[in-house]
Structure 1
Amino acid sequence: MTIKETIKKQSSRLKYVTHIPAKEVEILMMHLLDKNTIWLHLNYNQEFTKEKELEKLIKKRETNYPIEYLINKATFYGENFLVKEGVLIPRPETEILVENAVEIIKKENRAFKVLEIGTGSGIISVMLALLIEDISIIAVDINEKAIELAKQNAKKHNVEHKIEFRLSNLYEKVNEDIDMTISNPPYIADDYKLPENVKFEPSNALFGGKVGDELLKDIIDETYERKIKYLLCEMGYDQKKPLEEYFKKFDIKKYSFYQDYEKFDRGFTVQFKK
C-alpha cells in the first residue's frame, strides 16, 4: 500500500478523535520514517513500509491518547520540544505568558533573575533563556520526571548554562533574590470533568484544589512575602473575579489580566510595590 493510500485508510479511524485526522496520520508516519512533510508529499506514491508500527500508534491514538506522547514531541513558540508521558503537554496559549515576561524584562533592560514554578517540560524557562541574553533562571517542579525532561530540553536548545533545575515544592528550595516569578500552575477544580485526551496527563499538573485557585493564591502569597517585584501566572478562564478580589489584600503597584487565543481570560501580571 502506498503512503497516499495508507493515509486515506487510517485517517477514517481518527475522525472522531481529531478534527485533522489525515494530518495526524501524516505526523505519525513522519515520526516512524524520520522524514519531514516535504519528503512525505513528494513520495506519496511510494510503498509505505511500516504499516504494523503505524497500526499500533493509530490503535493507541483511537483511545484519545495524546499524539504528543506518541511521537515524544511538541511544538512551542516555533521550536520543537521533547515531551513524554507523566509530564504536562505544552499548550499554545502559554506562548502569551512568555511574551508578557519578555516584554517586561526587555523594558527593565538589566540582568534579570527569574524563578519558574512548575516547569514541566521546561518550555517557559527554555524560551526565556533563548529570547533574553542577560538572564538567569531557577526552574522548580515537584515531579522528578519533569525535571529530567526539562534538563533534556535545555540541553537540546543549548541554554542549560542559564537555567538551574531544582526538585522543589513552590519556593521550598529557593532562597535567592528573585526579580520575577512566572508560573503555569495547576488551576483546575478537583471535581472538573476533563476532556478524554487530557485524562492521560498528570493530575498533579492540572488540579489546583477544591476551587482550583488554591495553589495560585499560595504562589501570590509567597511571592509578595518574598518582596519579588513581578508575578506572571496562567489561570482558569473563570478565575479573574475572585483573583481580582484577592489582590486587594496586597500592596500592588499595578496588575493586568490577558486573554488567550480563544478570547478566554487566561492569566495575569502583577507588579508589587517594593
Structure 2
Amino acid sequence: MTIKEVVRNYSKQLKDVTHIPAKEVEIFICHILEKNNIWLHLNYNNEFSEIKQLEKLIEKRKKDYPLEYLIGRASFYGESFLVKENVLIPRPETELLVDNAVEILKDTKNKTVLEIGTGSGIISVMLALLIKDIKIIAVDINDDAIALAKENAKKHNVEDRITFIKSDLYTNISEDEEIYMTISNPPYIANDYKLPQNVKYEPQNALFGGEVGDELLKNIIEETSKREIKYLLCEMGYDQKKPLENYLNNFLIKDYSFYQDYEKFDRGFTVEFKKI
C-alpha cells in the first residue's frame, strides 16, 4: 500500500478515539520512518512497508493510550520534548504559566527560580531558553520525572542553568537559597474525580491533589510565604479560584491575579508577597 492508502485505511480504526484520525496515522508513519510532515506529503504515493509496526501503535491507540507516550514526544511552546510513561504529558495551557513568569522575570536582576513538580521539565527548560541569565532549581518526588527532565534539559542545551533535586515541595531546598520566584503546575484534581480514559494512563500522583484537590496548592502558598519568596505562580483547577482567593487572605500579599486558559476556564494565579 502507498502512504496515502495506509492513511485512508487505518484512520477508520481511530475515528472513535480522536477527532483527527488521519493526522494521527500520519504522525505514527513519520515516527516510524523518522521523517517530518513535509517529507510525508511529498512522498504520499510511495509504498509503505512497515505495516506491522504501525498496527502495533494503532492497536494501543484504539484503547485510548496517549499518542505522546506512543511516539515518545510532545510539543510545547513550539519545541519538541521527550515524553515517557510515568511522567505527566505536557498540556498547552501550561504555556500561559510560562508566559506570565517571563513577563515578571525579564526586567529583574534576581532571576533565581524554583519549580515545584517539574515533571518532564518543560517549564524549567522553556524558562531557560527564553531567559538566558536565569538560575533554576527544579524539584520533583518522582525519580522517573527527574531523569526525563534532565534529558530534556540536555536536549535543549540548558542543563547548565538548571539544578534538579529530588524533593517534596521545599523539603530539600536550603533556606539560605535566595529564590525570587516559585512556579508550579502541581496536582490539583480532587481524589474522587472520574478521569477520562486516556488520562488514566498518566501517573496519578501528578494529577490528584487531595480530597478537595487544592490541598497541595495551599501547602505551596503557605510554604512560599514562610520562605519570604517574592512571587508565586501556579496552575490550578477551573473551580478553585474562589477558595484559593479566600485562602490568600491569610497571608501578607501585595498583589495577586488570576488568569484563564484558552477555553476561558480559570486556570492559574500570580501572587506577589509583601516583604516582612
TM-score bracket for this pair, using the shorter chain length? over 0.9
State the partner residue of 1:96. Answer: 96
Query: What is aligned with 2:155?
Result: 156
Aligned partners of 2:113 and 2:209: how far apart in 1? 23
Matches within 5 A, 1:88-237: 88-108=88-108, 110-175=109-174, 176-237=177-238
Q: TM-score, normalised by structure 1?
A: 0.99
Q: Paired residue for 1:57?
A: 57
User: 1:18 corresponds to which letter in structure 2?
Assistant: T
Alpha carbons 1:111, 1:134 under 8 Å: kept: no
Q: String of CA shifts for 1:115-138, please: whole Å, max 9, x gaps.
A: 000000000000000000211000
Find the residue that maps to 2:57 and give its secondary structure.
helix
8 Å CA contact 1:14, 1:21 repeated in 2:
yes
Secondary structure of the structure 2 residue equivalent to 1:249: coil
Partner of 2:69: 69
C-alpha displacement of 1:111:
3.5
Identical pairs, percent: 73
The one-letter amino acid of 2:155's match is K
Query: What is the CA-CA distance between 1:49 and the residue it aligns to?
Result: 1.0
Secondary structure of residue in 2 paired with 1:11: helix
Alpha-carbon shift at residue 162 of structure 1 (Å): 0.1
C-alpha RMSD of matched pairs (Å): 0.5
Give secondary structure in 1 for the equivalent of 2:106: helix
- Aligned residue-pair number: 273
Distance in 1, matches of 2:146 and 2:2, equals 41
TM-score in terms of structure 2 length: 0.98
- Kindly state the Cα deviation for residue 198 of structure 1 after the two structures are TM-superposed: 0.4
Q: For structure 2, which runs of at least 5 residues remain unmatched after alignment?
A: none
Runs (4+) of structure 1 moved beyond 2 Å? none
Give me the whole-angstrom Cα distance separating, in 2, the residues matched to 1:259 and 1:221.
23
Give the letter for the 1:77 counterpart: Y
Is 1:37 matched up with 2:54?
no
User: 1:106 deviation in Å?
Assistant: 1.1
Instruction: Say which SS state the counterpart of residue 169 (structure 2) adopts.
Output: coil
Structure 1 portions without partners, runs of 5+: none
CA contact (8 A) 1:65 1:200 kept: yes
Mapped to 2, the partners of 1:111 and 1:12 lie a distance apart of 54
Q: Once the two structures are superposed, what CA deviation does each residue of 1:176-234 show, in whole Å capped at 9, x if it has no partner?
A: 12100000000000000001110000000000000000000000000000000000000
